[in-house]
Amino acid sequence: MDNKVVVIGQGYVGLPLALEATLAGLTVTGLDLNRGTVDGLNSGKSHVDDVSDGDIERMLEAGYKAATDPSVISGADTVVICVPTPLGEASKPDLSAVIGATKSIARYMMPGTLVVLESTTYPGTTDDLIRPLLETDGLLVDRDFHLAFSPERIDPGNPTYGLKNTPKVVGGVTPASTARALEFYQSVVDVVVPVRGAREAETAKLLENTYRHINIALVNEMSRFCHELGIDLWDVIDAASTKPFGFQAFYPGPGVGGHCIPIDPNYLSYEVKRKLGVPFRFVELAEEVNGAMPKYVVERLQDALNDQSKAMKGATVLLLGVTYKKNIADQRESPAIPVGELLKAKGATISFHDPKIQTWKLGNAEYERESELEQAVMDADAVILLQNHESYDVDALASKASLFFDTRGATKSEKAIRL
């Protein structure tokens, strides 16, 4: 039984895992290089939407602790890597944090340790990168340690599915490593799904998000055509959704955000091009379509202002919802950033409101949230709904606005313009 667990990285992936492992009765240490994060956790403060301060207090009472010193890996039965894997220059995966974490594990792990990578990456990383780093100094997988990959499936803000009740895919670099990882995760989550190996587990995560990326691009492209043809795409999607098979609804928007959709498909595209020398055309086309949506939103707003005999230059534009997803504070890769930058480049004066964000950074500028939402809506020349947080009464706000552009299809009011 894996009683002592170290989770490397205490962000949106690592902290929920540390929570569930602690609640399952395991002794958990959260390892993070950010001193502020560690101090906050040890004082009972959470920085992640889906983990409350109360959850942290329960974890601390059950023996959880956060640390910055990698020597805490010594003595751990299981070490799970949950560090960021952003894209670097030319969309090349940046695995520096993963490599750093693995080197720390190799230095401190004891014989028999289970090492699991959860950070999203390209197929083959666990076998071809992590394994050699751990097999330095004559160590061998299955004899001295076990190694597996288990993709994170965290959906921030999801009120129904969390880490515990979302099936967990697990694939080891050997059958014995798969079995060992299966045993660990079965003690933490409700359902564990073993697959043939680490490469299959790595690719499963990339397929999930590539599927979403491509289908979002499809409806984003359709939104442009339907607008020109005078067709209400939102009504079309509602109608198509009545089919009980063969259709899953996806919705257009101002762009894609978060760590998964804008980032993960590029890992798959990168590896296909690197190993096979051919482009992954679906991914590249989806990236082109989704990446163009902020510009399209600004162009639509400019057309709407022109219809009211107003210029974009000098117009006051209020952005509603600047996080990448509704009802959370996460701003990673939010389409609000390119929308805001494009509006500024065209001479608009922008302001923002978001119930989850007090201060919003856009380039070198910082904006404070509008304190009086309704007054800000009435004062603005145009309002763009970028994220439909549940606290917004969008139809009431649209009725007060001179121009209300709804990029989320949330309004029923005839006064609003929908994407």
**Is 82 tagged catalytic?**
no
Phi-psi region of 264 (alpha: psi -120 to 50; beta: other; left: phi over 0): alpha
Instruction: Report the number of secondary-structure helices (H) and strands (E) in the chain.
Output: 15, 15
Residue type, 368: E
CA–CA distance, 336 with 135 (Å, rounded to integer):
44
177 is written with which tokens?
A: 């490593």
Residues in Cβ contact with 380 at an 8 Å cutoff, skipping those fewer than 6 apart:
316, 317, 318, 351, 401, 402
Catalytic one among 260, 342, 362, 394? 260
Q: Which ranges of 351-390 would DSSP assign to H, the alpha helix? A: 373-379
Distances (CA, A) of 167 to 116, 213, 268: 16, 21, 22
Percent helix, strand and coil across the chain, each to the nearest 5: 40, 15, 45
Buried b (16+ CB within 10 A) or exposed e, 154-188: bbbbeeeebbbebebbbbbbbeebbebbbbbbebb
Are β-strands 365-368 and 359-362 bridged in parallel, bridged antiparallel, or unpaired? antiparallel
Which positions are annotated as active-site residues? 260
